[in-house]
Amino acid sequence: MTDTTRVQSDSFIEKYFKLKENGTDIRTEFIAGVTTFLTMVYIVFVNPTILANAGMDKGAVFVATCIAAAVSTLVMAFYANYPIALAPGMGLNAFFAFSVVLGMKFTWQQALAAVFCSGVIFFLISIFRIREYIINSIPKNLKLAIAAGVGLFLGIIALEQAGIVVAHPATLVTLGSLKAWPAVLCLLGFVLIVALNSRRVLGGTLIGILIVTVIGLVLGIVQFGGIVSLPPSLAPTLFKPDFSRLFEGAFIVVVFTFLFIDVFDNAGTLIGVTHRAGLLDKDGNLPRMKEALISDSFAAMFGSMIGTSTTTSYIESAAGVSAGGRTGLTAAFVAVFFLLALFFAPLAGMVPAYASAAALLYVACVMTQGLAEITWDDITEFGPAVVAAVTMPLTYSIATGIGLGFITYAGAKIISGKFSEAKPAVIVLALIFALKFALT
């Protein structure tokens, strides 16, 4: 590249992403992109393992995960100009596999169709600013409780996959065998991930996953399959959504559950990351929220068509923001790294369930931090919040926890006489969830 070409390229990047206006430069954005990628790359190992429970091809899901993350993040970068990366969402993939497919007996193809339909609705309500209104209307304590509840749900899935928690006819759940290698290595992996992240080691979650995977290789409970190769075929999951149950009541319930989960999850991520980046305006609102929401809506539709559960904005983007990322250029670098990750399919295929469970357990702990920020001096606030968080893992359903949270929140506010705190959107959502429970 000649000096003239380089100057023109730098000039284009500067003008498009408004680097100087945001107090950053290409080097800072690159470092931020590397940081964000390394904190969230675990998803390319964990997502195929989770969706394999739904009967999906792990190799194809690996490719779909990388491509969905790369393309969706590029849309966020160039359309919304935010340092926010996207990938198949934790919690959403668990709901897809364990609630919709295994629990409600949908095929994974039908579940993909539900994800696509929810993406279409995401897009429409984002265009007409309905989604923005809903996000701004959700009580802060319920937002925190939903995030924490999803974390608790991931926690019980992780413990179950490692054999630490098992079923029991009298007590529903009980302790499994802590002498089994999967349980031991899961706990070891969890401790390593916690310690490495505590010491701010870049890519600590990924390192922990790889260490316990290598230990499994040494013990002979994991088979070596190589590290680098050409990407597997995407064909087993490409364009596979099945809309045969489109007009069934159960299908509609699943679609709107995906919608609600992604709305709330995405709201917390957008607000949390942009707040840390200092990108909120003086009123605490997010400029270009419409563009950010549309980018997220596109991600859900695109991901479902190539073969993965709902793709959404990642809270791990905050790591890149902490490293100085302020514009979409950070996200653009993350997208490039996800494309490069396509060539590490054999390594992803080797990662055993106990290693993924260790990462899930760590993510669960991070997500439950929100409980500390709940308003604990008002029972009408923390009561419904606790109900929402606790019922997600205990009913094995994120949607149930969300629904009970809204119903109890609206009911508590109205009966206690705090009518002004029960916003119209909250009451409407509570009624919708009540109707859903009554009809299912």
Tokens standing for residue 346: 């054999």
**What Cα–Cα distance (Å) separates residue 439 from each residue in 215, 253, 258, 318?**
49, 10, 18, 40
What is the reported pLDDT for 339? 96
Q: How far apart are CA 20 and CA 26, in angstroms?
A: 10
pLDDT value of position 105: 93
Is the confidence at residue 346, as pLDDT, over 70? yes
User: What is the rounded distance in angstroms from the CA atom of residue 115 to the CA atom of residue 241?
Assistant: 9
Mean pLDDT taken over the chain: 88
Q: End-to-end distance of the chain based on CA atoms, in angstroms?
A: 62
Domain range list for the chain:
22-439
**Which alpha helices (DSSP H) does 201-327 contain, by range?**
204-219, 249-277, 289-306, 317-322
pLDDT tens per residue, range 46-73:
899 999 999 999 999 999 999 999 999 9
| pLDDT tens, position by position, 71-94 | 999 999 999 999 999 999 987 898
Residue 324 pLDDT > 90: no
pLDDT value at position 312?
93
Q: Which of 129, 92, 83 is nearest to 114 (CA)?
A: 92
What distance in Å separates the CA atoms of residue 7 and residue 299, rounded to the nearest whole number? 33
- Integer Cα distance of 407 and 422 in angstroms: 11
Check whether 1 has a pLDDT greater than 60. Answer: no
pLDDT at position 187, please?
97
Q: Which two tokens stand for residue 6?
A: 């380089």
Residue 111 has pLDDT above 90, yes or no: yes
Q: How far is CA 211 from the centre of its chain?
A: 24
Q: How confident is the model at residue 407 (pLDDT cuts 50, 70, 90)?
A: very high
The rounded distance, in Å, linking the Cα atoms of 62 and 56 is 10
Residue-wise pLDDT tens digits, 206-242: 889 889 999 999 999 988 888 899 999 999 999 999 9
On whether the CB atoms of residues 308 and 58 are closer than 8 A, the answer is no
pTM: 0.79
Is the per-residue pLDDT at 42 higher than 90? no
The Cα 308–Cα 61 span in angstroms is: 6
**CB contact at 8 A, 406 and 261:** no
pLDDT confidence tier of residue 349, bands split at 50, 70 and 90: confident
Could you give the CA distance from residue 21 to residue 127 in angstroms, rounded to a whole number?
27
Read off the amino acid at residue 377. D
Residue 9 has pLDDT above 60, yes or no: no
Q: How far apart are CA 437 and CA 404, in angstroms?
A: 9
Check pLDDT > 70 for residue 284: no
Mean pLDDT of 260-285: 73
Place of tokens 């002498």: 179
| Run of H or E including 238 | none
Does residue 281 carry a pLDDT above 80?
no
On the 0-12 / 13-18 / 19+ scale of CB atoms within 10 A, 78 is middle
Tokens of 126: 């984002």
At 238 the pLDDT is: 97
Q: To which H or E segment does residue 86 belong?
A: strand 86-88
Burial class, 163, CB count within 10 angstroms (exposed 0-12 / middle 13-18 / buried 19+): buried
